[in-house]
Structure 1
Amino acid sequence: MSPLVKIRSERDQMSAIERRIADFILENAHLLRDYSSQQLASALGVSQSSVVKFSQKFGFRGYPDLKYSIGQALARNGGDVPAAPEQEAGDDYARLEEALRRSKAAAEEETRLLNPRERMEEIVRLVDGAARVFVFGLGDDGLFAREFAMRLSLLGVLTVHHADPILMMANLSAARAGDVMLLFSEFGQLPQLSQISRQFQACEGKVVSITRHTSNPLRAHADASLVVSAHDPQPHIEALLYRSALQYLLDFLFVLLCQANPERHRQLGINLERIRHLLET
């Protein structure tokens, strides 16, 4: 994983000093070669040891190794995302369009790297082997939960979906060992979801959390987790990046489920044909 991607994805879990160092590195990666650890520390108003410890936190022996690794990543890829084409001066429309496209591409790439193949395949096995899959989310998370529950149903997966926590809690009486629950929560802090998660696990079911790549109660107690990385200093842009990266992650999970079980793939075709026929009559 690119050191810049790793630093960006871990930013939310850093201390204030670490975030100051991380932000400088992320915003000035191409200039980093001109800074020694002492110069960087002086520019940020932190101690040199803080810079060294920051580097070691990401698995490097010290700041020179971190700087070298970032330089190599930039040389290989030209940065985390493709360079933007030159825009005419004052062309705000084109600038905004290109900036959003690049930011979405970066968020999706970071999210891909944070969910390795082994983890994705483990979750595919859990979902494909479950007798029932419970799906739950609140607010905006509920929109993604509802859509993914529908996709699972098209694959022939017996799916239990509710947008009301009380109804979902009541339905846990039907949960059995081997069932799976997908819990959608961007920040993983809602106490209702934690309660539902614990009750479901008490029924010997497996919980899969879908949250931001942060330390949060829901992710900490889940049996498996999918994580989303989306960062931008502008809150409205960051929200868009989260939705885009989450949609990419769910789309890929759906494709993996289609390929993992030929019978489910066949059932998908049957259900899509039934829906087409229903809409045409």
Structure 2
Amino acid sequence: MSLIQEVKSEINQVLDLVDESQLDAIEPLITKDRRVYVLGAGRSGLMAKAFAMRLMHIGYTPYVIGETITPSVQEGDVLLAVSGSGKTKSIVEMAQKAHDNGVTVIGVTSNQASSLGGLADATIVVPGATKAGDGVKSIQLLSTLFDQTVHITLDVLALKLSRRDHTTNEEAAHEHSNME
């Protein structure tokens, strides 16, 4: 089997284990009248940023924690925090702080029983391999399988939101950067 076939097989194995009802439960938490913040470290942070970008395309007001133009979180906002292990200290501490400020926390992790999974109001479990050894084992380096499948899972969530909101591809394209 080629490496591409092995990687595809791993991705399919993880996506088959993602519980779509978790996405359905999160869908009502993300609405256009609530600001949505994303948080993650390293590659998990990049996956969170990709989700924020897609939210912007479909008409939401997303922010990335740590960016210079990100306003303070307020009660009623939503924070989507991504951590494969669910134990990344900086992510868990910021998610806890947001939760303490009345923010709805959505955790994305491979480990439901983790600190992030425990404090989140809702969790999406994406059981791809992480550098901590959680999830489906992988031939790929570190948390690559987790990152790949989080990206796809959050894209599915964005698609669900766009369908719920009746946002067309043309409307999303209108919001896409025109400074390229």
Taking structure 2 as the reference length, the TM-score comes to 0.82
Residue 46 (structure 2) pairs with residue 143 (structure 1): yes
Q: In 1, are the aligned partners of 2:78 and 2:103 still within 8 Å (CA)?
A: yes
Residue 89 (structure 2) pairs with residue 188 (structure 1): no
Q: State the partner residue of 2:150.
A: 246
Q: State the partner residue of 1:51.
A: none
Q: In 2, are the aligned partners of 1:130 and 1:179 still within 8 Å (CA)?
A: no
Q: Distance in 2 between matches of 1:203 and 1:276?
A: 33
Q: State the partner residue of 2:117.
A: 219
Report the residue type matching 2:158 in the other structure. Answer: F
**What is the CA distance between 1:143 and its match in structure 2?**
0.6
Report the residue type matching 2:14 in the other structure. Answer: A
Larger relative contact order (Cα-Cα within 8 Å, sequence gap ≥ 6): 2
Relative to structure 1, is the Cα distance of residues 130 and 276 closer, same or farther in structure 2, using a 3 angstrom cutoff? closer
Residue 160 (structure 2) pairs with residue 256 (structure 1): yes
SS of residue matched to 2:38: strand
Taking structure 1 as the reference length, the TM-score comes to 0.55
- In terms of fraction of residues, the more helix-rich structure is 1
Q: Distance in 1 between matches of 2:156 and 2:149?
A: 11
Residue 177 (structure 2) pairs with residue 273 (structure 1): no
Relative to structure 1, is the Cα distance of residues 233 and 261 closer, same or farther in structure 2, using a 3 angstrom cutoff? closer
**What is the CA distance between 1:171 and its match in structure 2?**
3.7
The within-5 A match list for 1:1-281 is 94-111=1-18, 115-117=19-21, 119-128=22-31, 130-163=33-66, 171-172=71-72, 174-176=73-75, 178-230=76-128, 231-232=136-137, 234=139, 236=141, 239-262=143-166, 265-266=167-168, 269-273=170-174, 275=176, 278-279=179-180
Relative to structure 1, is the Cα distance of residues 227 and 135 closer, same or farther in structure 2, using a 3 angstrom cutoff? same
SS of residue matched to 2:30: helix
Report the residue type matching 2:157 in the other structure. Answer: L
Q: Distance in 1 between matches of 2:32 and 2:59?
A: 12
Relative to structure 1, is the Cα distance of residues 274 and 161 closer, same or farther in structure 2, using a 3 angstrom cutoff? closer
Report the residue type matching 1:126 in the other structure. Answer: L
Q: State the partner residue of 2:132.
A: none
**What is the CA distance between 1:150 and its match in structure 2?**
0.8
Relative to structure 1, is the Cα distance of residues 272 and 106 closer, same or farther in structure 2, using a 3 angstrom cutoff? same
Q: State the partner residue of 1:89.
A: none
In structure 2, list runs of 5 or more residues that go unmatched: 129-135
Q: Distance in 2 between matches of 1:199 and 1:239?
A: 26
Relative to structure 1, is the Cα distance of residues 271 and 245 closer, same or farther in structure 2, using a 3 angstrom cutoff? closer
**What is the CA distance between 1:244 and its match in structure 2?**
2.5
In structure 1, list runs of 5 or more residues that go unmatched: 1-93
Q: State the partner residue of 1:70.
A: none
**What is the CA distance between 1:140 and its match in structure 2?**
0.9
